[in-house]
Amino acid sequence: MRTQLLYSRLLLSALMLGGLLSGCSDEEDSAPAVTSGAQAQAEAHPVHWSYEGDTSPQHWGELEEDFKTCELGKEQSPINIKPSEATINKKLHPVEVKYSPSEVSLVNNGHTVQVSVKGTGNTLTLEGKTYTLKQFHFHLPSEHEVDGKHAEMELHFVHQSEDGKLAVLGVLIKGGAENKELNKLWSRLPQKESKDPTVIDGTFDLKALLPADLHSYRYHGSLTTPPCSEGVQWTVLQQPITWSEEQIGAFRHLFPHDNRPVQPLESRTLEKEG
Ligand SMILES: [Zn+2]
């Protein structure tokens, strides 16, 4: 029994590293080499999943044994955030985000544009626990809804703690003023799926992708892509950022829609800081 539990934990870690940190199991992975038979197989014969047709989100759970959580999980992401029903938790501390200009590279992995962040200096601290930023990527329209409405896009900053736990910081993106710093990335958008990273010259100011106000919603959720593994700490910022319609359009041109529909809250609580 104990061996089985250990194995399933190892498998979960392997899937998370192989899946979320690189966006898809068929991508190059710079994360520590935690391997399992299942992961090795997934790398050799990646299971195709997508956002439409026979491999769309409602079929993810049937595509592969390891994707069952997508169908059976009870703590799945994204969710519809109802601000008026969020529980105020006065014990929650504001999120601490320490981001600084960093070297980054872009990959079009066929599901999104993923930006890998070099180094270990960018961190998110939640209730005293520190997570290091690994990568960020984009969804169109937003994956989380607020009162049943999508924002035009959503940005996911993916972090991992030393003990392997994942924390994702979600930022909603609305049409409006241009984000000048984003042009450093968007001028080099990889138009075609490829494993070869596009390295951005100089450094990218990560803070330019955060709103001024870091008040947030918090809940326990999952990866929003197969294998939909649970145990992910979600923080969705209440204040959106703006990009110009042209900047949003450039992403839409590559990915007309890459969002998983919202999932039932089940017995979970959505919290916000008091
Ligand atoms: Zn995401």
In a domain, 182, yes or no: yes
Distance between CA atoms of 195 and 98, rounded to whole angstroms?
Answer: 29
The rounded Å distance from CA 166 to ligand 1 centre is 12
The rounded Å distance from CA 6 to ligand 1 centre is 27
The rounded Å distance from CA 94 to ligand 1 centre is 22
Considering the candidates 48, 59, 93, 111, report the single residue annotated as catalytic. Answer: 111
Residue type, 55: T
Task: Give Rg (Cα) of the chain.
Answer: 18
Domain residues for the domain of 98 are 66-273
Neighbours of ion ligand 1 (CB under 5 A): 156
Q: Which segments of the chain have a pLDDT < 50?
A: 1-19, 21-42
In a domain, 75, yes or no: yes
Structure tokens at 156: 């996911």
In a domain, 188, yes or no: yes
Residue type, 124: L
In a domain, 21, yes or no: no
Annotated catalytic residue 111: yes
How many domains in the chain?
A: 1
Q: What is the CATH number of the domain that holds 84?
A: 3.10.200.10
Largest distance between two CA atoms of the chain? 56
Across the strands, what pairs with 130?
125
Helix (H) / strand (E) element for 183: namely helix 183-186
In a domain, 59, yes or no: no
The rounded Å distance from CA 143 to ligand 1 centre is 8
Place of tokens 């195709």: 48
In a domain, 144, yes or no: yes
The rounded Å distance from CA 2 to ligand 1 centre is 32
Distance between CA atoms of 171 and 195, rounded to whole angstroms?
Answer: 26
In a domain, 52, yes or no: no
pLDDT for residue 44 = 53
- Give the residue among 152, 122, 146 at the shortest CA–CA distance from 134: 122
pLDDT for residue 46 = 74
CA–CA distance from 15 to each of 24, 32, 36 (Å)?
10, 12, 9
- For 105, what's the count of Cα atoms within 13 Å in the CB-facing half-sphere? 13
Structure tokens at 82: 């109802």
The pairing of strands 113-117 and 153-160 is unpaired
In a domain, 34, yes or no: no
CA–CA distance from 69 to each of 10, 64, 74, 155, 226 (Å)?
16, 10, 8, 23, 8
